Structure 1
Amino acid sequence: MKQNKMDYPLLVITLILVSFGLLMVFSSSYYFAIDKMQNKMHFFTADLSFIILGVFAMLVASAVDYKVYRKFAIPLFFLSMFLLIYVLFKGTVVNDARRWITVAGQRFQPAEVAKIGLIMFFAFSLEKNYTKLNQPKILGVYVLIIASVVLLIMKQPNMSTAVILAGVMAVMLFVAGLRWIYVLLFGAAGGFIGWLLVHNAPYRLNRMIAFLDPFKYKNDESWQVINSLYALGTGGIFGVGIGMSTQNKLYIPEPQNDFILATVGEELGLIGTVGLLILFLILLYRCVKIAMNAPDIFSTLLATGISTMLGLQILMNYAVATSSMPATGVSLPFISYGGTSISILLGSIGIMLNISKSTIKRTHKNDD
């Protein structure tokens, strides 16, 4: 066995995605920025500053030995829980949701911090308890943690992030050795809880009804989805060209955010959306490969959590933009505008790059 160097393909693909995302943020936000900010460069310059910060975080994280994160797992977990509670009382309200904390004039989402904080904590804790994971008392503690986190995030409300985090933690439990019977029970319980959440919140129920017949509600609940479909349809195979989108001219609210894929599809066509998806699949392949070849349980679970987080966000964003699932707010990794998100994601890639330095490359030799 011999040790690998840093996973440079992962680094290159990440930088390609970030550069492409910056271009699409400018193209998609151009008219919205003029209308709302009187500055066509507003979102581009803001996104660029967050990307610079994120790349710096990635480089630092790639240089820090991943083993060091064991020391910060518990403090970061408690910080994440504190921020999730704090935002419910002192958070900034935007579009009827209390998801942001404002510090020195800058907003950040504690849920984004919680993603990496909980992934790190679960990796640390499961490394110590994986042999006892299927004992009811031990498993019950993890279930309580997941339920607490989901409840806090749902109170913001932010169902998409709650679903992603629950999915990430469930996958980490499974990789750590959770029995199939518990996986099935968790799935059933999650489905039931989801049903309750939809039926007890009129706006979620309306979204579900609109999902079943989006064109019937094209002027209300399905406005964003229908305009996203119009954009994707208009783009055809080759697209109408960069900067030539019609739907992002104030038809799609905040087109640089959750529905940025619509602009990609309209301006670059099917080739653009499929090409982007292929890049994402290569990115995920590199991440999963790192997780599979990680040198210890902690790094395996840490890489698994980050890979799952990325995969779920990509899957959900594509599904929402194509009306393959009910509309919910989830950004497209490295492409959508968003300060906290892009910084955390790039920092997470830095952790993956550091783990890749320690992965073991197994070479097969012929027996003579």
Structure 2
Amino acid sequence: MFKALADFYKELKDCFRLFSASSAKCRKIVFYSESDIYYQYYEGIIEELLKKPDIEIAYVTSDINDSIFSGKNPRIKPFYINNLLSIAMIYFDSKAFIMTMPDLDNFHIKRSINGVHYIYAFHAIGSTHLQYRREAFDNYDAVLCVGPHQVKEIKKAEEVYGLKPKTLIECGYHRIEKIWLDHRGYAENETFSGGGRTTVMIAPTWSPDNILDSCIYKIIDALKTEPSLNVVIRPHPEYIKRFGEKVAAIRKYISDANNFSLELDMLKDENLHKADVLITDWSGIYLEYALGTCRPVLFINTPCRIDNKEYRKLEIEPMELALRPLCGSVLEPENISAVKSAIGELIENRRKYGENLNKIRGEYLFNFLNSSAAAADYILKIADGQAAE
């Protein structure tokens, strides 16, 4: 009870501070984060913006434990707003407001009564019309597009549904750039190895019928006696938040399996770089892993999560479906007993997959290694009062 009161007091104080005259400068450019893990998707853009010595940024987070409060940069002004967010959103007077949250103005999070320019930043590189609601991006003024597939999909949706055209910025995706750059360092570090063991990371989505709910115990039973394997289970952050008792049950089940571990820190990428193979279902992590490390993926063919039942109206195959066979192999849930041999086949063909994934990255991502500059340039133009093209 006392913690809840203290948290609400901090929220009230931060809310008043955010809308005070003293915060007018940083309030011109606002980034909103639902939790600590979302900074990684803004990181490159913020670093580019702060290359301008006169720029300050307001960073609004709904996570009271967000590491942003530890002081990443004095020109990033952090504010905690959670329960009051739906009220605060109405009164922002910012020039540019950047979010990774879809469905602006469709539910309780509304556009401001003032002339705020809303910019959507993706936290995944997949398609826009399969695992998002149909209206997810309709009320944004601009979208920082990862690659040509998203530009094509959004323009087609605007045509099919008669929507007002948005400004589509050809940016790219900093998260994959960072994984790619970091992975080169890991690969060159001979001490960073599994001691001759093959490392497998299991990282599913959190939607219904995911791996953890449908077949994780069968996978554990199939692999727990394999001393040549080091297996890391990495639940989705939403799964950890919503299903703590299931996570605890998995932890207990693997307690006597020496080659299994559970990773709950979503801000660490060490095991992602160590992994020789990723096992997933429909999680967007497969694209980050495959295109960032050029290593193969084993897909457990659980039911596909479809948030937009009308996705076929665009007559464009979603990226998540198109790239699956190019990034690895698919294993049906009823054939889990073959999971070890499937891992072995992917390892044997690793070079072939690596060459293909390099090509795919070039085809599907804008401005590789320079995405953040493209995004920051657009945000600065908006903040300076220049009309969107």
Q: Please indicate, yes or no, whether the TM-score normalized by the shorter chain is above 0.5.
A: no
Question: TM-score of the superposition, structure 2-length normalised?
Answer: 0.24
Structure with more helix by fraction: 1
Q: Which has the higher contact order (CA 8 A, sep 6+)?
A: 1
TM-score, normalised on structure 1?
0.25
Q: When you count strand as a share of all residues, which structure comes out higher?
A: 2
